[in-house]
Structure 1
Amino acid sequence: MKKVVDHITEMLEANNLTFIDKPILIGGMSMEYYGIRKAGADIDLIVTDEDYQVLAHKYPNKRKDLYGDLGMVIGEFEIWRSIAHLDYNFFKKDAIEEENILIVSIDRLLWTRVCAMEVEKYRNDLELLKEYYYNHYTNPKYHQEALLHEKSYLKMNGTVLGGKYDDL
């Protein structure tokens, strides 16, 4: 986590990027922050419309429009004012606050992958996120209980009616 935050802080300084409101880290780098997978080379951020307008004025040739989602490509950063037309306020909910940035919540990170699931890379990320949820939120007591009847579930296509297990 700290390594990711330090890297982003270093890259923001190297690119002389400042914001009125803390940008929100999304994308692969946020997946690395949560320990789900290594990030690629780019750093994806969501910013307020006010911050986007300042950047668009300062870097008019760096603007990018992806189906109406407006962004900027500056160095290794892709800086967006929306993803799937969902804005900063949507992604800010439950974000983790770090010194210079916010980290998208795991639930909102999942949403970014759902919005783009037709792309194989993001479908793969959905599998990794599913695994993350199971590893972090599964009730261990319930899981152990289910393992006792694994043979029955396999024989009966997962459903046992009336408590009649066939675990032999």
Structure 2
Amino acid sequence: MNEVITRFQESLCKSKLNFSIKPILIGGMAMEYYGIRKSGADIDLIITDEDYKDLAKQNPEKQKDLFGDLGLVIDKFEIWRSIAHLDYDFYKKDAIEEDQALIISIDRLLWSRVCAMEVEKYRNDLMLLKDYYYKNYTNQKFHEEARLHEKSYEKIKGAIFGGKYED
């Protein structure tokens, strides 16, 4: 089992939090799940509106409103019903199913960082996600072709017209 999932499940068990529908693991732990960077101390989740309402009723003093995104801070968990007003149904698309949670898809993780790119931490995450995409999805044949003309790209600032390379 993935070490991130093990840590998440241990924390969830200690917290005694219950959800009617599996929460979606987002944020730093999702970044670590994909091998992009280590997570911080908190655990970020998206939950259904129904689960949010139940938890908010039980923990009214732990509610948090971030520009209309409602959440709860309970122990090490930051639990949200939306990010950028996009809800559970948006973030569950293509999520990876684990025993006690879904893991946000890499594409939705990217989107969650785009929504918060005004914050330096999330801009940095965007650069890490860009590197992840290049590392995992670059067409290697095209990449090798481009490497043949790196000197030309540097001289002309990237755009070569008519196949006139200056290698």
TM-score (norm 1): 0.97
- 2:67 counterpart residue number: 67
- 1:88 counterpart residue number: 88
The letter for the 1-side match of 2:55 is L
Give me the whole-angstrom Cα distance separating, in 1, the residues matched to 2:46 and 2:147.
42
1:34 matched to 2:34? The reply is yes
- 2:6 counterpart residue number: 6
Give me the whole-angstrom Cα distance separating, in 2, the residues matched to 1:118 and 1:125.
12
Give me the whole-angstrom Cα distance separating, in 1, the residues matched to 2:152 and 2:80.
50
Give me the whole-angstrom Cα distance separating, in 2, the residues matched to 1:129 and 1:19.
29
- 2:98 counterpart residue number: 98
How many residues are treated as equivalent by the alignment?
Answer: 167
Deviation (angstroms), 1:165: 1.2
Give me the whole-angstrom Cα distance separating, in 1, the residues matched to 2:121 and 2:156.
34
Give me the whole-angstrom Cα distance separating, in 1, the residues matched to 2:38 and 2:31.
7
Deviation (angstroms), 1:105: 0.5
- 2:125 counterpart residue number: 125
Deviations 1:6-26 (A, max 9, x none): 111111110101111100001
Deviations 1:93-146 (A, max 9, x none): 000000110000011001111111111111111100000000000000100010
Deviation (angstroms), 1:47: 0.1
- 2:57 counterpart residue number: 57
Q: Percent identity?
A: 69
Q: Which runs of 4+ in 1 moved over 6 A?
A: none
1:144 matched to 2:154? The reply is no
Deviations 1:21-52 (A, max 9, x none): 10000101100000000000000000000100
**Which segments of 5 or more consecutive residues in structure 2 lack a partner in the other structure?**
none
- 1:157 counterpart residue number: 157
Give me the whole-angstrom Cα distance separating, in 1, the residues matched to 2:146 and 2:78.
44
- 1:45 counterpart residue number: 45
Q: After the TM superposition, which of the residue ranges 69-78 and 157-166 deviates more from structure 2?
A: 157-166
The letter for the 2-side match of 1:27 is G
Give me the whole-angstrom Cα distance separating, in 1, the residues matched to 2:156 and 2:73.
53
